[in-house]
Chain A
Amino acid sequence: MQEQQYLDFFHAQRNQLDTCSCDMLNAHRDEALAAFQRLGFPSQKVERYKYTDVAAAFAPNYGISLRKEPFLGDFHAVQDLYGTLADVNADGLTALNTMLVQDMVVINVRAGEQKEHPVQITNTMRATAPLMQNRRLMIIAEAGAHVQVILTDKAEAGQDFLVTQVTEVFVGQGAHVELYDIEDSHERCHRFHQVFSQVEAGGHLTHVTFTLASGVTRNQTDVRLIGAGADAQLLGCAITNGTQHVDNNTLIDHRAPEGTSRELYKYVVDQQSTGAFAGRVLVREEAQQTDSIERNANLVCTEQARMWTQPMLEIYADDVKCSHGSTVGQLNNDALFYMLQRGISEAEARTLLKQAFASEVLQEIPLESLRQRLHVLIEKRFRSCEDCKLCKS
């Protein structure tokens, strides 16, 4: 029973959790506790968890550092929204996060307000013993609001970390939200990020998920298009090697007419690492004239590397335009040889081809400055330290 240590911790620390947190978070703990007791960690028999062993990730004994000062934020304006997309009764991990979360970031952009600059939240894990952190984020873009949010997830080397994060994104009528989630951690990090989004009529959401480096990562991305003409763009890229494991599980739920969705995920899976992509696009009966394209393309670089891909399209409306597909392949040998003939070393040629493969996702990224930064980070990621000039220059 991996759950027990978390239940024990919760019971022992309940008082401290409550006193140093806010009413909004505290109000949901009992329901979350009951849900977690009932659901436990999702097993691999659960369809959406079949590629990642959650219980194993939570088995080690992590410390959780709690706030010791009172919480000063006032979340009354948004408290009715909290937990409405992230349903504790649907998922054991959502329940665990809701039960233990003590701190939270809320980005609330008022109707019509256009944020000129992106908001960036950087999480850097740092500890002297194995550490678990439970994070919560809520982004609310009211009607016509415009905001770009960048999350960067890092961790200091040499320690084990476990993160649960639940993010709820409310895109109001005609609002525009870009959410960039970039993990650049290391092989001793486990991360479970669930993002639940909802887009109202005429609203737009771009959600970009980059896994540059990590240990075990499972990102769950659920988007509901609930108003006419709502639009979602999901982009993802995972670069894995060593014994890394990256699982992206997405659901685009078309619940209203004339919605559009575009989804592109690309993986470069090297050495013994494993990648998984499961993307479900659900077009409900009322979602007539939905226009959806989903694509997952993967480069598997070694015999040992593994990639699971499962695009799913489920259509209940009759007047729609939808396509989905996935490919798993190796580096193009003709291209490789062409480069060798021109004198480019095999290692360099491979690097250039991998970068080229990943760059297709970059090209789709609307935020120019981040696109350029990611170019550099990807190049850095593909190069081993000795032939990389990036730190020095």
Chain B
Amino acid sequence: MLEIKNLHATVSGKEILKGVNLTVKPGEIHALMGINGAGKSTLSNVLVGHPAYTVTEGSITFRGKDLLAMSPDERSHEGLFLSFQQPVEIPGVSMVNFMRAALNAKRKYWGLEPMDAGAFLKLMREKRKIVELDNKLTSRSVNEGFSGGEKKRNEIFQMAMLEPSMCILDETDSGLDVDALRIVAEGFNKLRKPETSAIVITHYQRLLDYLKPDFVHVLIDGRIVKDGGPELAAEIERRGFDWIKDEVQGAVSL
């Protein structure tokens, strides 16, 4: 589904990703952990084609196509979705108009007619319920005046609307209270189809308890330095990252 090979990327001339390799197969959930500033969000931004980030080396293949050759909106149509670490507020653009534009753009890309207004609103209602997003929020401007947790819930609501095949959740758990975390995580599980894949970026075990990742990777200083199963996340929760850093340094000095 997604194959990242030797990915190097810079932002403002500074190299942040220094050779990332990662393969995600359909239906797999990969957790990505690592210290602050390691490059996790940079990787998500590069995947969705953020113009501030420049890929200097390497390749990304998504569903057999060259992802780096696609514009950000094409990547979205092809099934890539990023739940942003910090969703932006867009005053004056209503949630309804925003979602309708997004959904219809995708339908157009796949050769489908725009969805009629009634069916669209019904779909909004259904999906809103899954993440228990308040009606009041979907009748406002995009993220405007939403609390931190509401913004994250709204990200998952949008995911529900667009039904992506590859979801990147960048710290979707941060800012959520315990109940909200459960609702969002259970919502995600309900929404995902067997073939839906995900890269879940998180600092905490709790979200992973719900999402049950198949693999856990540790990103440090722009490289994935350790891979493991769910037990790796549990170990990081207990011991932090220092022991991994020591391991890496040990390996280098050998």
Give Cα distance in the complex from A360 to B91, angstroms: 9
Smallest distance from the beta carbon of A351 to chain B beta carbons, Å?
9
Q: Tell me the nearest residue of chain A to B101, going by C-beta.
A: A344
Q: Tell me the nearest residue of chain A to B143, going by C-beta.
A: A338
- A342 contacts B50, C-beta separation under 8 Å: no
Task: Provide the B92-126 mask, 1 if CB < 8 A to any CB of A, else 0.
Answer: 11000110011101100100000000000000000
Give Cα distance in the complex from A20 to B232, angstroms: 94
Give Cα distance in the complex from A345 to B75, angstroms: 11
Give Cα distance in the complex from A346 to B73, angstroms: 8
- B84 contacts A342, C-beta separation under 8 Å: no
- A344 contacts B105, C-beta separation under 8 Å: yes
From known contacts A332-B88, A335-B90, A353-B90, infer whether A345 and B105 are also in contact, taking CB-CB under 8 Å: yes
Task: Provide the A337-354 mask, 1 if CB < 8 A to any CB of B, else 0.
Answer: 111111111101100110
* A355 interface contact, C-beta 8 A: yes
Smallest distance from the beta carbon of A136 to chain B beta carbons, Å?
38
Give Cα distance in the complex from A342 to B82, angstroms: 8
* B77 interface contact, C-beta 8 A: yes
* A71 interface contact, C-beta 8 A: no
- B92 contacts A357, C-beta separation under 8 Å: yes
From known contacts A334-B88, A335-B90, A356-B92, infer whether A341 and B97 are also in contact, taking CB-CB under 8 Å: no
Give Cα distance in the complex from A332 to B88, angstroms: 10
- A343 contacts B109, C-beta separation under 8 Å: yes
Partner of B92, one of A348, A349, A359: A359
- A343 contacts B98, C-beta separation under 8 Å: no
CB-CB under 8 A from B81, the residues of chain A are 341
Interface of A is mostly: helix
Partner of A360, one of B77, B92, B102: B92
Give Cα distance in the complex from A357 to B90, angstroms: 10
CB-CB under 8 A from B141, the residues of chain A are 356
Interface centre among A356, A357, A359, A360 (most CB of B within 10 A): A356
Task: Provide the B59-77 mask, 1 if CB < 8 A to any CB of A, else 0.
Answer: 0000000000001110111
Give Cα distance in the complex from A340 to B105, angstroms: 10
CB-CB under 8 A from A339, the residues of chain B are 90, 98, 101-102
Give Cα distance in the complex from A334 to B81, angstroms: 16
CB-CB under 8 A from A349, the residues of chain B are 101
Smallest distance from the beta carbon of B68 to chain A beta carbons, Å?
15
- A341 contacts B92, C-beta separation under 8 Å: no
* B162 interface contact, C-beta 8 A: yes
Q: Tell me the nearest residue of chain A to B105, going by C-beta.
A: A343
Give Cα distance in the complex from A68 to B89, angstroms: 60
* B158 interface contact, C-beta 8 A: yes
Give Cα distance in the complex from A344 to B74, angstroms: 9
CB-CB under 8 A from A343, the residues of chain B are 73, 76-77, 102-103, 105-106, 109, 162
* B87 interface contact, C-beta 8 A: yes
- A352 contacts B162, C-beta separation under 8 Å: no
Give Cα distance in the complex from A215 to B102, angstroms: 35
- A355 contacts B73, C-beta separation under 8 Å: no
| Chain B positions 167-181 with a Cβ under 8 Å from a chain A Cβ | none
Smallest distance from the beta carbon of B99 to chain A beta carbons, Å?
8
- B88 contacts A342, C-beta separation under 8 Å: no
Partner of A338, one of B71, B88, B106: B88
* B48 interface contact, C-beta 8 A: yes
CB-CB under 8 A from B101, the residues of chain A are 339, 344, 348-349, 352
- A355 contacts B92, C-beta separation under 8 Å: yes
* B13 interface contact, C-beta 8 A: no
Give Cα distance in the complex from A334 to B51, angstroms: 10
Interface centre among B72, B82, B89, B162 (most CB of A within 10 A): B72
- A344 contacts B87, C-beta separation under 8 Å: no
From known contacts A345-B73, A356-B92, infer whether A337 and B98 are also in contact, taking CB-CB under 8 Å: no
From known contacts A338-B88, A343-B77, infer whether A356 and B93 are also in contact, taking CB-CB under 8 Å: yes
Q: Tell me the nearest residue of chain B to A358, going by C-beta.
A: B92
Q: Tell me the nearest residue of chain A to B100, going by C-beta.
A: A344
- B92 contacts A337, C-beta separation under 8 Å: no
From known contacts A352-B97, A352-B98, A352-B101, infer whether A340 and B73 are also in contact, taking CB-CB under 8 Å: yes
Smallest distance from the beta carbon of B10 to chain A beta carbons, Å?
18
CB-CB under 8 A from B109, the residues of chain A are 343
From known contacts A340-B76, A344-B73, infer whether A335 and B102 are also in contact, taking CB-CB under 8 Å: no
Q: Tell me the nearest residue of chain A to B107, going by C-beta.
A: A343
CB-CB under 8 A from A344, the residues of chain B are 73, 98, 101-102, 105
Give Cα distance in the complex from A15 to B72, angstroms: 69
- A342 contacts B51, C-beta separation under 8 Å: no
Partner of B98, one of A340, A342, A357, A360: A342
CB-CB under 8 A from A345, the residues of chain B are 73, 105
A-to-B contact residues, CB < 8 Å: 332, 334-335, 337-346, 348-349, 352-353, 355-357, 359-360
Return 30 A-B CB contacts under 8 Å, by A number: A334-B88, A335-B89, A335-B90, A337-B50, A337-B72, A338-B84, A338-B87, A338-B88, A338-B90, A339-B101, A340-B49, A340-B76, A341-B73, A341-B76, A343-B76, A343-B162, A344-B73, A344-B105, A346-B71, A349-B101, A352-B93, A352-B97, A353-B92, A353-B93, A355-B92, A356-B91, A356-B92, A356-B141, A357-B92, A359-B92
B-to-A contact residues, CB < 8 Å: 48-51, 71-73, 75-77, 81-82, 84, 87-93, 97-98, 101-103, 105-106, 109, 141-142, 158, 162
Q: Which 9 A-B pairs have the closest CB atoms?
A: A356-B92, A343-B76, A340-B72, A342-B102, A334-B88, A343-B105, A335-B90, A356-B93, A343-B106
Q: A341-B82, A356-B90 are in contact. List 13 more A-B contacts (CB 8 A).
A: A334-B88, A335-B88, A335-B93, A338-B87, A338-B142, A340-B49, A340-B73, A340-B76, A341-B73, A342-B98, A344-B105, A352-B93, A356-B91
